Amino acid sequence: TQLLEQSPQFLSIQEGENLTVYCNSSSVFSSLQWYRQEPGEGPVLLVTVVTGGEVKKLKRLTFQFGDARKDSSLHITAAQPGDTGLYLCAGTGNQFYFGTGTSLTVIP
Amino acid sequence: KAGVTQTPRYLIKTRGQQVTLSCSPISGHRSVSWYQQTPGQGLQFLFEYFSETQRNKGNFPGRFSGRQFSNSRSEMNVSTLELGDSALYLCASSQGGSGETQYFGPGTRLLVL
């Protein structure tokens, strides 16, 4: 049983398009993290959100933590081929609970 | 600082065998966590070691075990391998505080035939 469900599971878009990835749970987390994983590598932390309603921006990436701290979204503006990878959300408690993952492919 | 290193990077075993994977954390990090990643189940937590003691454990059978040495290096052992154990095994290190940033290694890809 996955505590964190991500949608969509797969996403293939053209360069320049916008996209949003969702991470949903019925559990409350003290914080939520987003990672990107490229083939042959381990996940790399992109951002940590802590406060309900918090919005963080990292260049073309915008992360939002839900008011109830149960869900989060990642929005990418003007996607580029370098954004291709597996995006994972992770909720923190006594351990890290990872989401099911969203595989993004940006076509040049 | 050097990143998290894992050895070996690739491994092929047959059912019934056992395997030991190694993880060297970032210098100064005292916590090492292990994860199993498969296409069907995603990234699942195996266990965490801190200062040579298992601090947290995921929901995996007893065939999966680990240990941590005084220099914080960690090993994970899987006995009586099953086909379903084929996966990417990732370790991550952190300084050890609750919710601290984890830094992942590149993983060991295990194939069980």
Task: Please report the DSSP string for A16-48 in residue order.
Answer: T--EEEEEE-SS--SEEEEEEE-TTS--EEEEE
For testing contact with chain B, the best of A34, A50, A95 (most B CBs within 10 A): A95
Question: Looking at beta carbons, which residues of chain A come within 8 Å of B103?
Answer: 45
For β-strands A31-37 and B42-50, DSSP reports them as: unpaired
The confidence score (pLDDT) of residue B96 equals 79
Give residues 37 to 66 of A whose Cβ lies within 8 Å of B.
40-45, 48
Q: A41 vs chain B: nearest CA distance in angstroms?
A: 4
Q: Does the beta carbon of A98 lie under 8 angstroms from any beta carbon of chain B?
A: yes
Contact B91, B29 (CB under 8 A): no
Question: Under an 8 A CB cutoff, do A98 and B58 touch?
Answer: no
Contact A6, A89 (CB under 8 A): yes
Distance CA A66, CA A31 (A): 11
Mean pLDDT, residues B35-39 taken together: 94
Give the one of A41, A42, A45 whose C-beta lies nearest to B101's C-beta: A45
Reported confidence tier of residue A93, pLDDT bands at 50, 70, 90: confident
Question: Looking at beta carbons, which residues of chain A come within 8 Å of B102?
Answer: 45, 96
Largest CA distance in chain A: 41
Distance CA A5, CA B80 (A): 31
Question: Under an 8 A CB cutoff, do A95 and B42 touch?
Answer: no
Task: Please report the DSSP string for B6-67 in residue order.
Answer: EE-SEEEE-TT--EEEEEEPPTT--EEEEEEEETTTEEEEEEEEETTEEEEE-S--TTEEEE
Residues A40-69 have pLDDT tens digits of: 899 999 999 999 999 999 999 999 999 998
Question: Looking at beta carbons, which residues of chain B come within 8 Å of A98?
Answer: 35, 42-45
Give the one of B44, B48, B104 whose C-beta lies nearest to A42's C-beta: B104
Of A6, A11, A18, give the one whose Cα is nearest residue A84.
Answer: A11
**Nearest chain A residue (CA) to B91:** A42
Q: B92 vs chain A: nearest CA distance in angstroms?
A: 9
The confidence score (pLDDT) of residue A1 equals 55
The confidence score (pLDDT) of residue B94 equals 92
Residues B13-30 have pLDDT tens digits of: 999 999 999 999 999 999
